[in-house]
Chain A
Amino acid sequence: MAAPDDKNSLYEAFDEMRQALEATKPDALIVIAAEHFANFFMDNMPAYCIGMGEEYEGPIEDPEWLGIPRTKVPGNPDLSKRIIQKVLNDIDVAYAEEWKFDHGISVPLNFLTPNYDLDIIPVNINCQGPPLTPLHRAWAFGQALRKACDAVPERIAIVGTGGISHWPATPDSGKIDTSWDKAFLDKWTSNDKQSMLSYTDEETWKEGGQGGFEIRTFIAISGATEGCKARVDYYRPIPIFAVGCTIGIVELEL
């Protein structure tokens, strides 16, 4: 169990993010996540995939272990289809009408849409099964996603979810390099494209662990919000949660 102060402060930060999200009155929420073999395997691994289902289900993990009951989550296949069609102008994205959520999506949704009353469009970036998509493509994917969202009448919020340095599900689970995390977050908050895209996977693996490959989800958000500053509202390393738990927001400069 997490220490009470860790848990309470994180939950409060999530709740503030929920309020900020609700204030924008979105019609749908896109969640860009790093898949963890809940849906895809190395027999057919998409670099990018967007959900197009009527509904989704999660978490795949033991609900008691994760602390989140298994539930159905509404999708919006018509909106997904229109977004996918637009993204395909720039990125050869895969799509899936079936999708199981793992902790990567179920945890943020548990806090951000606790009533599961907002249409969700899940998005996957392969961060686990190399060869992985290059970072500049994750940026371009974010740009394509933004362009697609701007082209539909619905108001769409985008959340990126993943860890920075971490070594999850290994003997080193709980190790977190806070200085590596903070250096990355400095680049992320300033939308510093050049610096963010300068990481190599070899460096990331050595310094940030195999979980560090999930910086792709952050980078996709930066691509989607190119030119906008971000802010980090919460960062705290919580070893039992295996990551430096981070909550940040990009306010669009429209």
Chain B
Amino acid sequence: MSLYQTQKLLYNLNKSTELQAQFFADKQSVLKNYRLDEEEAEAIVKPDIGLLYIMGVNGQILMHYAAMCGYAWPEYIKAMRDALEIYGNVRAGLYVTTDGKGAV
């Protein structure tokens, strides 16, 4: 797990249109600069927005990456809700859960 590196990559993408262009042209050329494990790299590349939420990526970072990947707001929320069913609790970070579901 390298949540910090995962969030750093997404934060940098959110901040730079140049990096976004490079990333969507050749994702591996950007990913190689971050120490990510296989699950993290796959979730970013796919993208699996729900799994990134489960890993603990902060929503204020993830919401921008989801929009960048074409997710409308309701789809973003649904991806996270579905992921709680698929993967279980949020594993780390500010949103860590223990009941396998959100409060709603």
Contact = CB atoms under 8 A, between A and B. Distances in A.
Interface string A142-181: 0000000000000000000000000111111111000000
Given A37-B11, A62-B67, A130-B94, A174 B61 contact: no
Contacts of A129: 58
A178 to B, nearest CB: 15
A11 interface: no
Nearest to A100: B15
A170 B56 CA distance: 11
A210 B64 CA distance: 18
Which of A36, A37, A60, A168 is packed against the most chain B CB atoms within 10 Å?
A37
A116 B103 CA distance: 39
B47 interface: no
Contacts of A203: none
Nearest to B72: A65
Interface in B47-95: 53, 58-64, 67, 73, 77, 80-81, 84, 94-95
Does more than half of chain A's interface fall in helix, strand or loop, or is it mixed?
loop
B94 A172 contact: no
Interface of B: 4, 7-8, 11, 14, 53, 58-64, 67, 73, 77, 80-81, 84, 94-95, 102-104
B82 to A, nearest CB: 9
A42 B94 contact: no
A173 B77 contact: yes
B58 A37 contact: yes
Given A62-B67, A65-B67, A65-B73, A169 B62 contact: yes
A37 B14 contact: yes
Contact of A128 (B63, B94, B104): B94
How many chain A residues sit at the interface, stated as a range, is: 20 to 34
A171 B104 contact: yes
A172 B104 CA distance: 6
The 3 lowest CB-CB distance pairs between A and B, nearest first, are A169-B59, A171-B102, A36-B60
B104 A174 contact: yes
Name B's interface SS. helix
Contacts of B53: 170-171
A43 B103 contact: no
A37, A129, A171, A173 pick with most chain B CB within 10 angstroms: A171
B59 A170 contact: yes
A62 B67 CA distance: 8
B11 A41 contact: yes
Interface in A102-161: 128-130
Residue of A37, A60, A170, A173 with most partner-chain B CB within 10 A? A170
Nearest to A103: B60
Contacts of B81: 171
Contacts of B80: 170-171
A168 B11 contact: no
Nearest to B84: A171
A121 to B, nearest CB: 22
A60 B102 CA distance: 27
Nearest to A40: B11
Contacts of B102: 167, 170-172
Given A37-B14, A168-B59, A175 B104 contact: yes
Contacts of B103: 167, 172, 175, 209
Contacts of B8: 41-43
Interface string A27-49: 00000000011000111000000
